[in-house]
């Protein structure tokens, strides 16, 4: 059993440290249109070419005034109107006000905008209630972003929260890191591509399909080499082709004890690869290293194990290779269990769970059920990992556990 001989197992933290310490981000960059930049990573810091807002403007529909001309009883005639895109440009007589709309430029000399709800209009002009103060309801030029101010550093992934801001600054092109090229394939005569009829003893190639979907979410350029049969020459050709075309090669299957003999021998000739036994469940077998040109990750053959090791190890590796320096690990929180959880000490266990908030506002979590490394339905049912410490045993109802919320790869 796992707890009988775990001294040769590598912890998740050790494995991740080994991986990330060896790789450096891609250096190649390109300038692309902002409209094509969704999911790309900034390769240099971005500064604002303009002030935002570019001119002082009104935060309200109301009246622009000069505070020293205000009187609680003397109405101010309306000298004109100011709209967004159509500012007031006439001579502004003393002891008058200007009707102004939200976003309209502040007329020269105005030092406050009084909202229309505090204005009473008559034939003689407008009188105001309240106690207007200088500067109220005026958005100053550069109040949001000053010209030349830093907007984003290098290493930011561009999405809906970033791109419209850059568009508002008039930035039409942007310098980004080149897209990471990732070659993928699966090994095994029993595997059949999705959509093809199954022969006797065959199963569908779930792993490569899942890996491909996750790579798409991460914005990688995918080189899909399909299923490679259990033949040393075919496997060597696949590795050589992948190594020549990609920055990272990901294979599925062929890295566990008993499977890795000729694979290990071949990979020793093609590069420097370590075959690791990880102290995590699911996902003990894992391989990592450098081929002649590309980095290599070998995932376990079981579907849940393949996705888990990709999620915990390959995802942060891809972030670093891609130059995504602002990447953050998935959020972890504390929750109480509402179901018992079976566990044997010896490996860090990532069980699939369903978290929710109870009537008292407390986080609770329950298991998705059977946790076998072949039960892929646990991902579709769950919304988090229940992260059980390496030496922890089974968990009773009501105990506190750590949960890791699924991020965009699994949602």
Query: Among all chains, which residue has been given the structure tokens 């030349």?
Result: 148
1 has a pLDDT exceeding 50: no
pTM: 0.84
Residue 77: what pLDDT? 97
The DSSP bridge partners found for residue 184 are 224, 250
Tokens 């105001």 -> residue: 128
| Higher local confidence (pLDDT), 339 or 261 | 339
**pLDDT digits 0-9 by tens, 265-324:** 788 889 999 989 999 999 899 999 999 999 999 999 888 899 999 999 999 999 999 999
> What is the distance between the alpha carbons of residues 24 and 43, in angstroms, rounded to a whole number?
14
Q: Place 102 in a pLDDT band, splitting at 50, 70 and 90.
A: very high
Q: Quick one: pLDDT at residue 2?
A: 42
The SS3 call for residue 308 is helix
Separation of alpha carbons 68 and 5, rounded Å: 84
Determine what percent of the chain is predicted with pLDDT higher than 70. Answer: 94
Q: Measured between alpha carbons, how far is 371 from 302 in angstroms, rounded to an integer? A: 12
**CA atoms of 186 and 226, how far apart (whole Å):** 6
pLDDT tens figures, 63-89: 999 999 998 788 999 999 999 999 999
**pLDDT confidence band for 3 (50 / 70 / 90):** very low
Three-class DSSP category at 242: helix
pLDDT at 374 over 80: no
pLDDT beyond 60 at 5: no
Query: What is the three-class DSSP state of 205?
Result: coil
Give the mean model confidence (pLDDT) for residues 162-175.
95
CA–CA dist 252, 304 (Å, integer): 12
List b or e across 54-92, with b for residues whose CB sees 16 or more CB atoms inside 10 angstroms.
eebbbebbbbbbbeeebeeeebbeebbebeeeebbeeeb
Q: Does residue 53 have a cis bond before it (omega within 30 degrees)?
A: yes
pLDDT mean across residues, the chain: 91
Question: Going by C-beta distance under 8 Å and a sequence separation of 6 or more, which residues neighbour residue 391?
Answer: 345, 346
pLDDT attached to residue 197: 83
232 pLDDT band, cuts 50/70/90, is confident
């Amino acid at each position: 059993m796992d707890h009988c001989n775990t001294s040769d197992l590598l912890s998740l933290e050790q494995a991740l440290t080994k991986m990330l310490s060896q790789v450096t981000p891609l250096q190649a960059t390109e300038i692309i249109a902002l409209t094509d930049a969704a999911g790309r990573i900034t390769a240099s810091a971005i500064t604002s070419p303009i002030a935002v807002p570019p001119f002082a403007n009104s935060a309200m529909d109301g009246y622009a005034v000069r505070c020293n001309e205000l009187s609680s009883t003397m109405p101010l005639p309306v000298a004109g109107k100011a709209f967004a895109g159509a500012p007031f440009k006439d001579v502004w007589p003393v002891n008058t006000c200007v009707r102004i709309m939200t976003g309209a430029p502040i007329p020269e000399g105005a030092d406050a905008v009084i909202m229309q709800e505090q204005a009473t209009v008559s034939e003689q002009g407008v009188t105001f209630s309240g106690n207007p103060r200088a500067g109220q309801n005026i958005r100053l030029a550069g109040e949001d972003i000053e010209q030349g101010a830093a907007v984003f550093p290098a290493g930011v992934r561009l999405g809906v929260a970033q791109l419209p801001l850059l568009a508002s600054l008039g930035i039409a092109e942007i310098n980004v890191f080149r897209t990471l090229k990732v070659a993928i394939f699966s090994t095994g005569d029993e595997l059949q591509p999705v959509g093809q009829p199954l022969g006797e003893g065959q199963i569908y190639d779930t792993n490569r399909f899942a890996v491909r979907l996750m790579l798409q979410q991460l914005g990688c350029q995918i080189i899909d080499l399909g299923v490679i049969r259990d033949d040393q020459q075919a496997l060597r050709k696949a590795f050589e082709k992948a190594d020549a075309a990609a920055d990272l090669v990901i294979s599925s299957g062929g890295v566990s004890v008993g499977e890795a003999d000729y694979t290990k021998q071949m990979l020793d000739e093609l590069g420097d690869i370590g075959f690791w036994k990880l102290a995590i469940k699911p996902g003990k077998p894992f391989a990592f290293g450098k081929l002649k040109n590309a980095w290599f990750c070998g995932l376990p053959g079981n579907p849940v194990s393949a996705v888990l090791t990709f999620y915990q190890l390959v995802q942060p590796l891809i972030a670093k290779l891609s130059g995504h320096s602002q990447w953050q690990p998935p959020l972890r929180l504390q929750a109480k269990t509402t179901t018992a959880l079976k566990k044997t000490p010896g490996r860090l266990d990532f069980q699939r769970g369903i978290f929710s908030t109870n009537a008292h506002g407390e986080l609770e979590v329950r298991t998705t059920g059977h946790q076998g490394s072949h039960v892929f339905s646990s991902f579709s049912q769950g919304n988090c990992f229940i992260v059980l410490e390496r030496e922890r045993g089974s968990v009773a109802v009501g105990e506190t556990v750590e949960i890791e919320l699924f991020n965009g790869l699994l949602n």
